[in-house]
Amino acid sequence: MATAPAPVSLSAAASTVPARLLVGRGAAAAPVARRRARMVVVRAKIREIFMPALSSTMTEGKIVSWSAAEGDRVAKGDAVVVVESDKADMDVETFHDGIVAAVLVPAGESAPVGAPIALLAESEDDLQAALAKAQELSKAQPQQAPPPSDAAAPPPPPPPPAAAPAAPAPVAAGTKGIATPQAKKLAKQHRVDLAKVAGTGPFGRITPADVEAAAGIEPKPKVVPAASAAPVPLSAPAIGAVPQAAELPPVPGATVVPFTGMQAAVSKNMVESLAVPAFRVGYPIVTDKLDELYEKVKSKGVTMTVLLAKAAAMALAQHPVVNASCRDGKSFTYNTNINIAVAVAIDGGLITPVLEDADKLDIYLLSQKWKELVKKARAKQLQPNEYSSGTFTLSNLGMFGVDRFDAILPPGQGGIMAVGASKPTVVADKDGFFSVKSKMLVNVTADHRIVYGADLAAFLQTFAKIIEDPESLTLIANLTGVCI
């Protein structure tokens, strides 16, 4: 597997294993004995290599391969392991010289961030101590819980029944008690004299049970409902609470394939986005002049995606609130840089390489940078800052013929633009004449906590003007001396 060109350094903590040797203290040894009477401490330096956090969302990493095997001597800065994070595969280097004494997590297995994955001994004399420590760490690891049995676990015993409230003392027969309407009806049916019935209800009230008892009718057995959990009081959902998807049983005959690290990260982000109050606005844009510009510059390596990203960055510069974000639910975060993240489908997942400072670079430099980012993304070699620093996202499915779609807002951003295909459309001008022009529909999903409808509409109007008159897209390029 290809590895990242810029490895990440691993932090390693040094641990010491003392071995105390007592030297003789004979009285005849005099000054020599006093010098040797002190305790000599030999310290074996063993460093733990930890699973690094390669991104802000990474909670565990998978070992793709070990670049150094047990017994290999490594120097500071050498790559020792390739780790698969939730977004990319990255080489990880060591801070120290030493010998790889023990690999605690073999290739193909995962470990949480911060857990030791290998031990590094300073010298060959420390190898035995390192192996002993590796055995201690393996014993200290918690045992995995046994898999749940197919048989259903017996239900917990029902709670003891609550003590029944003391029944009110019956009123002696012959007193004038008040009967309930149902009791009166039963007394009439069974020809029971209410004056002779002792009431057991509140304040001597005669109940239907009293009438049935006086008539000699056995009471019906009461059905005791199965014990159930106490009902949870309904309350308004907390702001920012993430709804949890129900776990459904698999369809018979289906094959269950667990998520990869990247797919799990995408799933987590998509579920978190449901907690954001988002809204969507669509806008049709004529693309005839943009198509003409693309025909001129595509031979120089400029893609339509780069042109759209450049146009979005220029529009965001005029509408900074759309480039802002809400990270705590209480405030605006205005970003000083305009970094356009572009969704890219790769084998087994989705990632968003970031074109940083897209408003300041010309379309040719952006194209070169975009080509490098896509290559690294498909090889899973992106560095964290190359996929996690976006302030606005662009998703383009126009090349697949999709005319319109809605995109899900990424966490930590104020908006995402979904771009559909440009198609010939019959349009009428202000004089009523018809013509055929190419049109595309863009839909923007935005965080309604910071971006309002008027803000998004103004941004889309600016974006449409840039697309319909794209000369400004090449302005910076011309100023730097590059001609189209």
Q: Are 415 and 458 in contact (CB under 8 A)?
A: no
Q: Are 427 and 435 in contact (CB under 8 A)?
A: yes
- Say what angle helices 288-297 and 304-318 make with each other, to 10 degrees: 120
- Say what angle helices 304-318 and 453-468 make with each other, to 10 degrees: 130
Question: Which one of the listed residues 96, 190, 319, 448 is annotated catalytic?
Answer: 448
What residues contact residue 332 under an 8 Å CB cut-off, 6+ apart?
321, 324, 325, 326, 450
Give residue for tokens 């974006």: 463
Q: What is the gyration radius of the CA atoms in the chain, in angstroms? A: 37
- Report the phi/psi class of residue 148: left, alpha or beta, with left for phi > 0 and alpha for psi in -120 to 50: beta
Distance set, CA 455 to CA 277, 316, 317, 355, 415 (Å): 16, 11, 13, 24, 11
Tokens (6 digits) for 285:
């844009």
What's the rounded Cα separation, in Å, for the pair 61 and 40? 41
Exposed e or buried b per residue across 466-478, where buried means at least 16 C-beta atoms within 10 angstroms of its C-beta: bbeebeebbebbe
Report which of 64, 59, 58 is spatially closest to residue 84, judged by C-alpha positions: 64
What's the rounded Cα separation, in Å, for the pair 262 and 284? 34
Mark whether 190 is an active-site residue: no
423: amino acid identity, one letter: K
Tokens (6 digits) for 186:
């039963």
Residues with catalytic roles = 448
